[in-house]
Amino acid sequence: MAQAAEAARTVIMTVDDDPGVSRAVARDLRRRYGESYRIVRAESGESALDALRELKLRGDLVAVILADYRMPQMNGIEFLEQALDVYPGARRVLLTAYADTDAAIDAINVVDLDHYLLKPWDPPEEKLYPVLDDLLEAWRNSDYRPVPATKVVGHRWSARSSDVREFLARNQVPYRWYSADSPEGLRLLSAAGQDGQRLPLVITAEGNVLVEPEATELAAEVGLATTPTADFYDLVVIGGGPAGLGAAVYGASEGLRTVLVERSATGGQAGQSSRIENYLGFPDGVSGAQLTDRARRQAGKFGAEILTAREVTGLEANGSARVVHFADGSTVAAHAVILATGVSYRQLQAPGTPDLTGCGVYYGSALTEAASCQGHDVYIVGGANSAGQAAMYLARGAKSVTLLVRGPSLAASMSYYLIQQINEAENISVRTGTVVDAAHGSDHLEQLTLRDTESGTTELVDAQWMFVFIGAAPLTDWLDGSVLRDERGFILSGPDLSADGKPPASWELDRAPYHLETNIPGVFVAGDARAESAKRVASAVGEGAMAVMLVHRYLEQS
């Protein structure tokens, strides 16, 4: 019964701008699959995306998407790339003519295309149905999410509500959002026996009611692992950004019993990026969420455990064991540890910003808020790649996007390709030599005071949305007293542990520390938290893999 109910809410979508072809595809699909699946037909990429978003909001599943390659405004590959953001688990099929097979082959890398079909597909019993049967079977056996039923009720301008939505979204947990003063929101509050004074309210798929939940409680209730299955591992990876995920994939795939511990959501800062365009192997770019989801599933495929919403508070060496302490007082131990804690965006110190954080002022992309920026003026503070990527993403729907840059230009901190894209975007402007002096608003951001750094003149502008990307601080304070760090808090390793390149005085082994090894033997660092690291996704993933290689070397000599 459960499978039948799930199938009734599962969609096979076909997209073709030729009405005759579109009807023919839908007719053949209904003939074979109509009793078990809903067949949804669209005649343009835009209308299909609208339909996918509506299905997502209703909690329906999409198993397979078939898209014609030659469509005006948005071709099939472009459509499938955007559809991937809405339903990453759906199987993707491109309908092509013989002359377009090269484009179809290219799409295999661009959008992880599962199959391409040549038109015409007659007879469907030979050329269409066997392909769809295999794809549907693969989809049913994949790690797709069950029908999403988690509901969040909160206030639009609420920092805590924003935090809960961001936590669920970044952890790939489907949910539906209801404003507390909407009819459905009021009905949910009444059903839960709440008066709306304490929000957000979360109702899980099982009907459990959580009021103002903390991350650990929320994670456990929505099915995220929060407790290790063992007391001792070969390798503990702390941090779930690109470096941590890379280490987990390589560690687990090479036979190490591996657990990854993440305090919030996997992906780190890269996971919040709307589009990463200079990562090897993705010529058309990949969103941080897509890259994170694939890496997380890849790590799980090899057997790595991933713990979410677990805050690490300490690290100590106890004989040959490396013991990791959690905020709740529990511990987990391992032969080796890789520190991949990453960095966090520095807080803007302008008056008014602390009180308005989460209420119009956001650190990082906060992609859950992007839809609400449609038709509005948006300000972005910062001049590095993350700010540029956010500007390009938000410019799709915002009335205008203004980049506020302290320096004289973007050239010193932003990649050339992004600068070119920003210069070509009609609704993006760049104000150099400009800083935010103050943020104003009662329950949400309403205005900003901007100051010209050369003249000192100020200007008051109306603003409801400000996203801040002003440099990064390492998340390493909890290592104080155990692991050596530089004056900015970044972790020292290898030859950087001392000025003359020799091991520190506390080093007890005959050999010198390995390249990514800290002052504690068997404890390594990878990614942005490492002193003098490159601060790029590719280098972080590479360091995660390299750290695992050094873990093997350490274990062989221990």
Mean pLDDT, residues 522-527 taken together: 98
Q: Residue 6: what are its φ and ψ, rounded to 5°?
A: -65, -45
pLDDT band at 112 (very low <50, low <70, confident <90, very high): confident
In this structure, CATH architecture of domain 353-470 = 3-Layer(bba) Sandwich (3.50)
Kindly tell me if the per-residue pLDDT of 441 is higher than 90: yes
Kindly tell me if the per-residue pLDDT of 110 is higher than 70: no
Give yes or no for a contact between 213 and 221, defined as CB atoms under 8 angstroms apart. Answer: yes
Rounded to whole angstroms, what are the CA distances from 449 to 406, 410, 430? 14, 22, 16
Mean pLDDT, residues 41-59 taken together: 84
Kindly tell me if the per-residue pLDDT of 198 is higher than 50: yes
For domain 2-141, give the CATH number. 3.40.50.2300
Give yes or no for a contact between 106 and 154, defined as CB atoms under 8 angstroms apart. Answer: no
Give the DSSP letter string of 15-26: E-SSHHHHHHHH
Give yes or no for a contact between 306 and 296, defined as CB atoms under 8 angstroms apart. Answer: yes
Q: Residue 511: what are its φ and ψ, rounded to 5°?
A: -80, 165
Q: H or E segment at 218?
A: helix 215-221
Rounded to whole angstroms, what are the CA distances from 77 to 70, 180, 403, 417? 9, 39, 31, 22
State the pTM of this model.
Answer: 0.72
Of the candidates 403, 483, 481, 398, the residue with the CA atom closest to the CA atom of residue 435:
403
Of the candidates 348, 319, 355, 314, the residue with the CA atom closest to the CA atom of residue 332:
314
- Predicted local confidence at residue 554, as pLDDT: 96
Identify the weakest region by mean pLDDT among 273-287, 308-322, 509-523: 273-287
Identify the weakest region by mean pLDDT among 28-32, 205-209, 333-337, 391-395: 205-209
Query: Looking up tokens 């695992």, which residue turns up?
Result: 548
SS (H, E, C) 66-127: EEECCCCCCCHHHHHHHHHHHCCCCEEEEEECHHHHHHHHHHHHHCCCCEEEECCCCCHHHH
| Residues in contact with 478: Cβ distance below 8 Å, sequence separation at least 6, in sequence order | 312, 313, 314, 315
Mean pLDDT, residues 154-168 taken together: 90
CATH 3.40.30.10 domain locations along the chain: 151-221
Rounded to whole angstroms, what are the CA distances from 165 to 154, 173, 181, 444? 10, 10, 17, 17
More confident residue, 118 or 171: 171
pLDDT in tens, 393-425: 899 889 999 999 999 999 989 999 999 999 999
pLDDT in tens, 457-514: 999 999 999 999 997 889 999 999 999 999 999 999 998 998 777 788 888 899 999 9
Give the DSSP letter string of 415-445: -HHHHHHHHH-TTEEEEESEEEEEEE-SSS-
Of the candidates 439, 366, 438, the residue with the CA atom closest to the CA atom of residue 167:
366
DSSP 8-state assignment for residue 483 = S
Query: Looking up tokens 């750290």, which residue turns up?
Result: 547
| CA angle, residues 83, 16, 92, in degrees to nearest 5 | 40
Alpha-carbon gap, residue 59 to 148, rounded angstroms? 5
- Predicted local confidence at residue 324, as pLDDT: 98
More confident residue, 64 or 290: 64
Alpha-carbon gap, residue 491 to 533, rounded angstroms? 10
Strands 151-154 and 201-203: antiparallel
pLDDT band at 370 (very low <50, low <70, confident <90, very high): confident
Kindly tell me if the per-residue pLDDT of 104 is higher than 60: no
Which range scores top for mean pLDDT: 21-30, 315-324, 497-506?
Answer: 315-324
Alpha-carbon gap, residue 503 to 506, rounded angstroms? 8
Q: Which listed CATH number (3.50.30.40, 3.50.50.60, 2.60.40.10, 2.40.50.180) goes with 232-344+473-557?
A: 3.50.50.60
CATH 3.40.50.2300 domain locations along the chain: 2-141
Alpha-carbon gap, residue 380 to 168, rounded angstroms? 24
Kindly tell me if the per-residue pLDDT of 1 is higher than 50: no
Alpha-carbon gap, residue 360 to 369, rounded angstroms? 9
- Number of helices (H), then strands (E), belonging to the chain: the values are 17, 26
- CA 33 to chain centroid: 34
The number of residues making up the chain comes to: 558
Alpha-carbon gap, residue 64 to 93, rounded angstroms? 8
Kindly tell me if the per-residue pLDDT of 100 is higher than 70: no
What integer best gives the mean pLDDT of the chain?
89
- Predicted local confidence at residue 4, as pLDDT: 46
Kindly tell me if the per-residue pLDDT of 341 is higher than 50: yes
- Predicted local confidence at residue 186, as pLDDT: 87
Kindly tell me if the per-residue pLDDT of 309 is higher than 80: yes
- Predicted local confidence at residue 77, as pLDDT: 85
Give yes or no for a contact between 470 and 403, defined as CB atoms under 8 angstroms apart. Answer: no
> Helix, strand, or coil here: 27?
helix
Tokens (6 digits) for 107: 């799409």
- Predicted local confidence at residue 118, as pLDDT: 81
Kindly tell me if the per-residue pLDDT of 93 is higher than 80: yes
CB atoms within 10 A of CB 325: 16
Mean pLDDT, residues 222-226 taken together: 92
Name the CATH topology of 151-221.
Glutaredoxin (3.40.30)
Longest dimension (CA), the chain: 78
- Predicted local confidence at residue 242, as pLDDT: 96
pLDDT band at 146 (very low <50, low <70, confident <90, very high): very low
- Predicted local confidence at residue 107, as pLDDT: 60
Rounded to whole angstroms, what are the CA distances from 340 to 67, 271, 475, 489, 549? 40, 14, 9, 14, 15
- Predicted local confidence at residue 98, as pLDDT: 61
CATH 3.50.50.60 domain locations along the chain: 232-344+473-557, 353-470
